[in-house]
Amino acid sequence: MRSSKSRSRGKNRNNNRPSGGNIINRVFDSNGPDSKVRGTPQQIIDKYNQLHRDAQLSGDRVAAENCAQHAEHYTRMLAEAQREIDAKRDEQEEQNRQRQAERDRERAERLKAQEAAANDPANMEQPRGEDAGLVETPEAAPQQDAPKPRRPRKPRQPKADKADQPDQGGSDDGAPEAAE
């Protein structure tokens, strides 16, 4: 029979331990003076502040001080986490500003280059052919030999009603008669 250690090989053995990450939303278990307090740092601070007030009202200075110290500990943890989050946000905003400034510089350089190319007299002459990127018009096309004139069409024979025409021995299956 295998032991349980061999079956859990390759798996994360620290599943019960909280990893770094966001302390502000993480749930903590705090062993206070009277009981266990569970919740996010802000919830724990609120609970210890309430326990502090209750101990003061009952006249227990030691329990009140103990609860105040616990509340202060979580307040410091929360403030440190908030400072780290603010620092990361400020760093990210600075990077975004730098990227935007770089894009603005590149855009300004492209516009200057386009204006210079448009105002350059050497570029005023339009290229012809496939490189122009324009649609070829008949006026711009080079002169070719004039096309041969077309022969005029033969006038159509007027159709007469079938009732007026005698049957010419052909079958009346609706097929057109062969042209001469």
User: Is the pTM value of this prediction over 0.85?
Assistant: no
pLDDT at 18: 46
Residue 46: the pLDDT is 94
Confidence at residue 151, expressed as pLDDT on a 0 to 100 scale: 84
Given this model, what pLDDT does residue 90 score? Answer: 96
- Residue 132: the pLDDT is 57
For 103-131, write each residue's pLDDT tens digit.
Answer: 999 999 999 998 888 887 766 665 555 55
| Cα distance between residue 47 and residue 67, in whole Å | 9
Residues of the chain short of pLDDT 70, as ranges, are 1-21, 122-134, 138, 140-146, 161-180
- SS3 label, residue 30: strand
pLDDT at 1: 45
The pLDDT of residue 29 = 83
Q: What's the token pair of residue 150?
A: 């077309």
DSSP at 28: E
- Give the pLDDT confidence score for residue 67 in this predicted structure: 92
What is the rounded CA–CA span in Å between residue 63 and residue 40? Answer: 22
